[in-house]
């Protein structure tokens, strides 16, 4: 990095100089990105192509594989569980992301006000995000147990139902419960990231808008939202990516049950690749996540570029 | 643990014996052999069992041969991931504990230990048939079976008595009858129907078999799930679920039935010895009214789930002979016997020499686990270990067939679903 | 923040009510963890007593956790790993983000796509070849192995997030600095970075949290008790077969996360203060 640093007097010289060359956009940019890009290619490039290669083979674990082209993908297409997995993953991702987006933005706006114990509140709200997922999910195992859940307990005391709803045993409720746990975990990060975005908006803009007679909603709609857009966009896209490939939470709570009602790409791929030792088939399931994710990432790339001009 | 004093005396004797032998042998062996070996193991349900290996067995072996034996503990659910990584990359621990069909999945990467198995068999009264079913792949022993973690009926004697049952019902139909009464009395049953590791397969496969249903024939090819026997098993299961259980069992994983039993929600479940163990530790009063019994009989007999814990040697180990020597030493009666004792029948030996071992008298309620070994099979039985069979288990084909029926789907539909899945799975095999 | 006066009714509706609901939703599971960690097993499994109160609190689980497992060692490992991989990720992330946010250069779109494409690699499969790579580098069972692999998960997010924050800095500020004779690097370090403190803090919080949360790589690469991180250590030694050591697991969850929450709250406070200073200067 210090090599790039050019003293000011060097740049004032009219003839070609290293300093000036380094100041060119193309050169400076590539010097900056080269090292991290090389790192990523080294650490991820090989595994990625390895994964693609696996998906094109009939490849039992710890045994040599046989190239079979796209047969694994054809197989997935005819697998009824795979189809269910696709639907589940989309339901899970869309619902959880919407909840996190709306809730996170709301919470960020609320926290952007002045109030007593502000710092303490912020720290507390971050807790769900901080605690290791494997451990917090274990707590949810009790909270969602009808015999111990507060809701069931209340229903029982009020004499309405006993044992009441089965949070993980009923297929629809199980999906609902997982979405709630995912939202619980992800919401604080949304809120805190958007809060950081809100803090970068200059107060003068609000003052100017207020002087112009803008109300609360107008200020939000025409000042806050446009300025926050890049941050909202990125956080949302990443939330989609992480939710789409979520594994730990589901694996601990239901492992895809009851009867595949909560199986998603990552859990199903893991069961097939590890449990059944079918690396090729497992890779093809996992790689089926790529097209939708690639679309999202492409959208991000295009969006960020067009913002520039 | 009532065994402790007897056990420590035994260990003491054994260690002095080893010490003397070690003094004679160690200089010669130590020179030629590696300094250490690593055994990977699941974190045992019985903590003293892990401690015994680390503190006693490994120490004794080091004294004897100069070889340090490391003992890496991994949680039960994570062991397969670790074994896969080691096998795929041919690096990592020298030996590992393995589960039910891994001898087949990783057979290329495990040493043939038939010679050790033969010796141990001869030395310790011969192997149970189920030992071979668990680890013999293409005629070769790919692991040395250590113990079966059996799955039996765990039930509350006090509540069953109130419902008029002094002993555990002998057939599924009688159990259903008892369950109906017990559920009415506020003590439902709780059998796992979700996507756990073992407590679901643990009773659903035996149920299927005891009605005469099978996934595949013994040839490992012909799919026979679509049969009247299967249909009868499913019809029974649906009724059993509706009239003795509650909805939540459909989403259970292995931890739930322990929790439900210990919190007195259920009067009967299918589980390993862990419930009685935990009860003795934390709920001594409840422990007095728990009993364990073999699975009920169906029209076509009585069956149990085989859930073997075995030890394998990776082919990538630097000194294969050293690893084999250790495994042979480990399974010799003084060592293996002491190790079994520490876990007090939680691991049921596959060797007949231990059929009347003193540990069975420590807790007579565990005796059915020994007897159940005779009728225990791996999922997919009577087909041999195979890729397709592993896939069927990993995709929960049989479990979900029953679970969907319990959730309300028709018997015909759930069989058709399972049939379609099996066809797809076996076409590849 | 706002100049106008509000009635208590507005304040209740826009602040206290939503805040209260969020706090209950966010904190209830923690309350549950806390009481679980303080209950004896006899009480935990007792359905007859009200589950939301600890009737006979005990510190046994905490004592067991600290004496029978290497929890403190795991905590230290986790902290070390998280700090190092966060630092790497923020530096690399910024190096990627600034040119992508502000410069025109050949291959920019490709680079920005390639960064996030890291996430296209399915994690459930990634670990097998990565384990091979780690073995070849001779890094098995060292904390370095995860310090090197975690950034692959963290850099893309840091880079994209920082891109977003870099864009919120008015380009006029940078142009002015350049006209005053500052080099590109000076513009970045003296003008842009200070203004983006909040962005770095939120990216850092994210990276740190993900690093201390990670399970799969830590499970594969760290096999010895003394090099494990909290999630892997706790699951390996407190989940025995089908029996969970609930109290100790929950004690581990709380002991592991509350210090981090306190540290975070300082940071959050700091970036609010830092921002006010920055805007005055600008």
Q: What is the pLDDT of residues C19-46, one digit of tens each?
A: 888 889 999 999 999 999 999 989 988 8
Let me know if B295 is exposed, middle or buried by CB neighbors in 10 A (0-12, 13-18, 19+).
Answer: buried
Dihedral in degrees, nearest 10, Cα atoms C141, C143, C147, C148: -30
User: What does the pLDDT look like over B58-78, one tens digit per residue?
Assistant: 999 999 999 999 998 888 878
Per the omega criterion (within 30 degrees of 0), is the bond before A299 cis? no
Tell whether the model's pLDDT for residue B9 goes beyond 50: no
Quote the tokens at residue C136. 């070849």
Write the pLDDT tens digit of every residue in C178-188: 888 888 888 88
Q: How many domains are contained in chain C?
A: 1
The domain ranges of chain B are 4-149+307-367, 152-305+386-428
The pLDDT of residue A15 is: 63
Confirm if C141 and C224 have CB atoms less than 8 A apart: yes
Contacts 24+ apart (CB under 8 A), B204-208: B204/B237, B204/B398, B204/B399, B204/B402, B205/B303, B205/B305, B205/B377, B205/B379, B205/B381, B205/B398, B206/B295, B206/B302, B206/B303, B206/B304, B206/B305, B207/B172, B207/B233, B207/B236, B207/B237, B207/B295, B207/B298, B207/B402, B208/B233, B208/B398
Fold of B4-149+307-367: D-Maltodextrin-Binding Protein; domain 2 (3.40.190)
Residue B38, pLDDT score: 94
**pLDDT at C272 (0 to 100):** 53
pLDDT tens digits along B130-170: 999 999 999 999 999 999 999 999 999 999 999 999 999 99
Q: Which two tokens stand for residue A121?
A: 């509140």
C259 interfaces chain A, CB cutoff of 8 Å: no
What share of chain B in percent tops pLDDT 70? 92
Q: Which chains form contacts with chain A, at 3 or more CB pairs under 8 Å? A: B, C
Helices (H) and strands (E) in chain B, counts: 21, 13
Interface test with A, best of C32, C121, C126, C128 (most A CBs within 10 A): C121
Looking at chain B, the whole-number percentage of residues with pLDDT higher than 90 is 79
Band of residue A1 on the pLDDT scale cut at 50, 70, 90: very low
Q: Which residues contact A158 (CB under 8 A, 6 or more apart)?
A: none
What pLDDT is recorded for position B408? 93
Across chain B, mean pLDDT equals 89
How far apart, in whole angstroms, are the C-alpha atoms of residue C267 and residue A119? Answer: 10
Question: How high is the pLDDT of residue C124?
Answer: 67
What pLDDT does residue B267 have? 96
Look up residue B158 and give its two tokens.
């006090």
Query: Which residue intervals of B33-105 are DSSP H helices?
Result: 47-52, 58-65, 79-89, 102-105
Give the residue carrying structure tokens 């490709």.
Answer: C110
- Residue C269's pLDDT band, with cuts at 50, 70 and 90, is low
The CA distance from A131 to C257, in Å, is 5
pLDDT level of residue B5 (50, 70, 90 thresholds): very low
Burial of B164 (0-12, 13-18, 19+ CB in 10 A): exposed
Distance between CA atoms of residues C186 and A177, nearest Å: 50
Specify whether the CB–CB gap between C114 and A2 falls below 8 A: no
Per-residue pLDDT for A200 more than 80?
Answer: no
Residue length of chain C: 282
CB-nearest to A61 from B88, B253, B420 is: B88
> Does the residue C38 lie in any domain?
no
Question: Phi and psi dihedrals of C47, rounded to 5?
Answer: -80, -15
- Please tell me the least confidently modeled range out of A53-67, A114-128, C268-282: C268-282
> Which 8-state DSSP code applies to residue A163?
S
**Which among B311, B310, B316, B332 is positioned nearest to B61, based on CA atoms?**
B332
At A224-238, the pLDDT tens digits run 888 888 778 878 888
**Could you tell me the residue ranges of all domains in chain A?**
1-55, 69-308
Task: Kindly provide the ipTM of the predicted complex, given to two decimals.
Answer: 0.86
Tokens of C274: 């830092």
Q: Which helix (H) or strand (E) holds B147?
A: strand B144-148
Q: Is the pLDDT of residue C120 over 80?
A: no
Closest Cα in chain B, distance from residue A297 (Å): 30
Q: In B214-349, where do the E strands start and end?
A: 268-271, 290-293, 304-305, 308-313, 348-349
The domain A69-308 having CATH identifier 1.10.3720.10: the answer here is yes
Report the pLDDT averaged over residues B8-34. Answer: 45
Contact: A47, C130; criterion CB under 8 Å: yes
pLDDT of residue A179: 97
* Residues B114-140: tens digit of each pLDDT: 999 999 999 999 999 999 999 999 999
Helices (H) and strands (E) in chain C, counts: 15, 2
* Nearest of A284, A236, A225, A255 to residue A98 by alpha carbon: A236
Confidence band (pLDDT; 50, 70, 90) for C277?
A: very low
Read off the CATH number of the domain in which C81 is found: 1.10.3720.10
In this prediction, residues C109-137 reach a mean pLDDT of: 78
Among partner residues B108, B109, B403, which is closest to A258 by beta-carbon distance? B403
Class of domain B152-305+386-428: alpha beta
- Find all residues with CB under 8 Å of A161, minimum gap 6, and list them: A152, A155
Query: Would you say residue C67 has pLDDT above 50?
Result: yes
Specify the DSSP element, H or E, that contains C258. helix C246-281
Ranking A33-47, B189-203, B212-226, C4-18 by mean pLDDT, the lowest is C4-18
Mutate to test the interface with B, among A149, A151, A258 (most CBs of B within 10 A): A258
Min distance C244 CA to chain B CA atoms (Å): 7
User: Please, what is the average pLDDT of chain C?
Assistant: 83
Q: Which two tokens stand for residue B298?
A: 């169906």
Which pair of structure tokens corresponds to residue B62?
Answer: 């080091």
Query: How many cross-chain Cβ pairs, A to B, lie less than 8 Å apart?
Result: 124
Chain B nearest CA to C117, separation (Å):
24
Q: Higher confidence at residue C123 or residue A212?
A: A212
* C-alpha atoms less than 13 angstroms from C-alpha of A64 in its C-beta half-sphere: 1
| Residue C257 falls inside a structural domain | yes
Q: B-C interface: how many C-beta pairs under 8 angstroms?
A: 95
**Which range (B377-391, C75-89, C93-107, C111-125) has the least confidence?**
C111-125
Mean pLDDT of all residues in B20-48: 68
Contact between B61 and B25 (Cβ < 8 Å): no
**Cα of C140 to nearest chain A Cα, Å:** 15
pLDDT of B33 reads 55
Collect all residues with Cβ–Cβ distance below 8 Å to A132 and sequence separation of at least 6: C212, C213, C215, C230, C231, C234, C253, C256, C257
Q: Which residues 6+ apart lie within 8 Å of A173 measured at CB?
A: A165, A166, A167
| Mean pLDDT over the full length of chain A | 84
Distance CA A240, CA A190 (A): 12
Q: What residues of chain B, 78 to 117, have a C-beta less than 8 Å from chain C?
A: 78, 81-82, 84-85, 88-89, 91-93
Chain-chain contact of B262 with C42 (C-beta, under 8 angstroms): no
Closest Cβ opposite residue C257 in set A131, A203, A248: A131
What burial class does residue A307 get, using C-beta atoms within 10 Å of its C-beta: 0-12 exposed, 13-18 middle, 19+ buried? middle
Residue position matching structure tokens 């609320």: A110
pLDDT of residue B404: 96
B contact chains, 3+ CB pairs < 8 A: A, C
Position B32 pLDDT exceeds 60:
no
Domain, as residue range, for C140:
59-281
The whole-number pLDDT of residue C221 equals 85
What average pLDDT score do residues A203-211 get? Answer: 83
Q: With 80 as the cut, is the pLDDT of residue B429 above it?
A: no
Is the pLDDT confidence value at A256 over 80?
Answer: yes
What are the residues whose beta carbons fall under 8 Å from the beta carbon of B224, sequence distance 6 or more? B214, B215, B216, B217
Tell me which residue has tokens 């990432």.
A297
In Å, the largest CA–CA distance within chain B is 71
Asked if residues C125 and A54 have their Cβ atoms less than 8 Å apart, the reply is yes
Chain A neighbors of B252, CB-CB under 8 A: 168-169, 257
For A120-175, the pLDDT digits (tens) are 888 788 888 888 888 899 889 889 988 888 888 888 888 877 778 899 999 999 99
**Stretch B226-234: mean pLDDT:** 96
> Sign of the C-alpha dihedral, residues A163, A169, A173, A176?
positive
pLDDT at C156 over 80: yes
Return the percentage of chain C with pLDDT > 90, whole number: 26
Distance from CA of B101 to the nearest CA of A (A): 9
DSSP for C40-74, written as a single string: -HHHHT-SSS-TTS-SS---HHHHHHHHHS-HHHH
Q: Given CB atoms, is C42 within the 8 Å cutoff of chain B? A: yes
| DSSP state at residue B294 | P
A163/B250: higher pLDDT: B250
Is C92 near chain A, with CB under 8 Å?
yes
pLDDT at site C183:
85
Tell me, yes or no, if B417 comes closer than 8 A to chain A by beta carbon. yes
- Whether the bond into A163 is cis, omega within 30 of 0: yes
Its pTM surpasses 0.90: no
Q: Left (φ > 0), alpha (ψ -120 to 50) or beta: where does B125 sit?
A: left
The pLDDT tens digits for A65-109 are: 999 999 999 999 989 999 999 999 999 999 999 999 999 999 988
Q: How confident is residue B26, by pLDDT bands cut at 50, 70 and 90?
A: very low
Question: Is the model's pLDDT at C266 over the cut of 80?
Answer: no
C125 vs A contacts (CB less than 8 Å) = 47, 51, 54, 269, 273, 279, 282-283, 286
Decide if C180 is inside a domain: yes
> Which residue has 């699975």 as its token pair?
B295
Mean pLDDT across C159-171: 81
């Amino acid at each position: 990095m210090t090599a790039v640093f050019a003293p000011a007097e060097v740049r004032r010289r009219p003839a070609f100089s290293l300093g000036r060359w380094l100041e060119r956009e193309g050169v400076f940019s590539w010097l900056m990105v080269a090292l991290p890009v090389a790192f990523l290619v080294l650490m991820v490039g090989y595994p990625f192509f390895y994964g693609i290669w696996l998906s094109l083979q009939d490849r039992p674990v710890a045994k040599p594989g046989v190239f079979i082209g796209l047969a694994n993908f054809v197989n997935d297409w005819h697998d009824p569980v795979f189809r269910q997995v696709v639907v589940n993953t989309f339901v899970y991702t869309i619902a959880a992301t919407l909840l996190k987006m709306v809730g996170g933005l709301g919470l960020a706006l609320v926290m952007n006000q002045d109030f007593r114990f502000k710092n303490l509140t912020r720290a507390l709200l971050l807790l769900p995000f901080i605690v290791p997922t494997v451990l917090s999910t274990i707590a949810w195992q009790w909270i969602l147990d009808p015999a111990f859940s507060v809701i069931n307990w209340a229903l029982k005391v009020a004499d309405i139902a006993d044992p009441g709803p089965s949070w993980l045993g009923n297929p629809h409720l199980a999906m609902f419960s997982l979405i709630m746990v995912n939202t619980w975990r992800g919401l604080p990060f949304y809120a805190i990231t958007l809060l950081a975005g809100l803090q970068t908006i200059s107060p003068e803009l609000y003052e100017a808008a207020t002087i112009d007679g803008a109300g609360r909603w107008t200020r939000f709609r025409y000042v806050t939202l446009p300025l926050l857009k890049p941050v909202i966009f990125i956080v949302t896209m990443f939330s989609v990516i992480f939710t789409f490939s979520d594994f730990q939470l589901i694996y601990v709570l239901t492992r895809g049950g009851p009867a595949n009602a909560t199986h998603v790409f990552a859990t199903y791929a893991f069961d097939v690749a590890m449990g059944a030792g079918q690396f090729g088939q497992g890779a093809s399931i996992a790689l089926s996540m790529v097209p939708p994710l690639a679309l999202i990432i492409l959208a991000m790339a295009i969006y960020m570029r067009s913002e520039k001009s | 643990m009532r065994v402790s004093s007897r056990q420590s005396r035994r260990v003491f004797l054994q260690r002095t014996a080893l010490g003397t032998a070690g003094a004679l042998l160690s200089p010669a062996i130590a020179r030629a052999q590696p300094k250490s070996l690593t055994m990977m193991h699941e974190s045992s349900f019985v903590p003293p069992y892990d401690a015994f290996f680390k503190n006693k067995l490994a120490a004794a072996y080091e004294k004897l041969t100069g070889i340090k034996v490391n003992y890496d503990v991994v949680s039960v659910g994570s062991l397969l991931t670790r074994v896969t990584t080691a096998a795929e990359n041919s690096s990592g621990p020298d030996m590992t504990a393995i589960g039910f069909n891994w001898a087949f999945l990783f057979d290329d990467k495990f040493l043939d230990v038939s010679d050790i198995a033969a010796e141990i068999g001869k030395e310790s009264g011969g192997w149970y048939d189920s030992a071979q079913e668990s680890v013999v792949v293409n005629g070769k022993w790919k692991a040395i079976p250590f113990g079966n973690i059996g799955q039996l009926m765990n039930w509350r004697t006090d509540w069953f008595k109130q419902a008029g049952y002094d002993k555990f019902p002998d057939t599924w139909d009688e159990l259903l009858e008892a369950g109906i009464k017990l559920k009415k009395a506020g003590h439902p049953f709780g059998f796992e129907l979700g996507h756990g590791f073992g407590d679901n397969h643990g009773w659903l496969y035996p149920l299927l078999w005891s009605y005469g249903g099978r996934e595949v024939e013994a040839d490992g090819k012909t799919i026979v799930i679509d049969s009247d026997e299967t249909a009868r098993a499913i019809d029974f299961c649906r009724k059993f679920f509706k009239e003795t259980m509650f909805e939540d069992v459909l989403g259970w994983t292995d931890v739930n039935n322990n929790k439900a039993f210990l919190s007195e929600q259920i009067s009967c479940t299918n589980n390993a010895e862990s419930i009685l163990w935990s009860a003795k530790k934390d709920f001594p009063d409840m422990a007095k009214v728990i009993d364990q019994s073999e699975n009920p009989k169906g029209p076509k007999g009585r069956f149990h789930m085989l859930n073997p814990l075995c030890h394998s040697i990776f082919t990538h180990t630097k000194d294969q002979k050293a690893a084999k020597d250790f495994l042979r030493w480990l399974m010799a009666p003084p060592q293996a016997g002491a190790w079994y004792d520490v876990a007090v029948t939680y691991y049921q030996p596959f060797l007949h020499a231990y059929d009347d071992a003193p540990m069975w008298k420590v807790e007579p309620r565990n005796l059915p686990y020994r007897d159940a070994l005779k009728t225990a099979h791996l999922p997919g039985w009577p087909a041999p270990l195979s890729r397709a069979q592993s896939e069927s288990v990993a995709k929960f084909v049989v479990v979900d067939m029953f679970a969907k029926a319990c959730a309300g789907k028709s018997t015909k539909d759930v069989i058709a679903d399972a049939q379609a899945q099996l066809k797809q799975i076996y076409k590849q095999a | 923040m706002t100049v106008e006066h509000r009635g208590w009714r507005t304040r209740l509706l826009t602040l206290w009510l939503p805040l209260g609901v969020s706090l209950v939703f966010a904190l209830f599971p923690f309350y549950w963890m806390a009481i679980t960690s303080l209950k004896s097993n006899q009480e935990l499994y007792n359905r007859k007593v009200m589950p939301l109160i600890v009737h006979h609190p005990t510190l046994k689980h905490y004592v067991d956790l600290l004496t029978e497992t290497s929890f403190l060692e795991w905590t230290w490992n986790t902290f070390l790993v998280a700090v190092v991989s966060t630092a790497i990720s923020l530096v690399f992330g910024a190096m990627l983000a600034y040119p992508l946010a502000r410069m025109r250069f050949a291959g920019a779109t490709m680079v920005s796509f390639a960064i996030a494409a890291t996430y296209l690699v399915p994690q459930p499969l990634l670990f097998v070849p990565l384990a091979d790579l780690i073995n070849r580098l001779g890094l098995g069972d060292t904390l370095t192995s995860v310090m090197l692999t975690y950034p692959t998960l963290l850099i893309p997010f840091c880079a994209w997030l920082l891109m977003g924050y870099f864009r919120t800095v008015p380009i006029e500020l940078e142009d002015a600095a350049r006209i005053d004779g500052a080099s590109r690097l000076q513009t970045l370090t003296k003008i842009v970075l200070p203004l983006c403190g909040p962005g770095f803090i939120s990216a850092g919080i994210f990276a740190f949290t993900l690093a201390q949360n990670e399970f799969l790589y830590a499970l594969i690469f760290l096999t010895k008790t003394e090099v494990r991180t909290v999630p892997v250590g706790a699951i390996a030694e407190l989940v025995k077969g089908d029996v969970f050591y609930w109290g100790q697991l929950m004690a581990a969850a709380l002991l592991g996360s509350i210090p981090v929450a306190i540290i975070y709250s300082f940071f959050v406070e700091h970036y609010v203060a830092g921002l006010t200073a920055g805007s005055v200067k600008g």
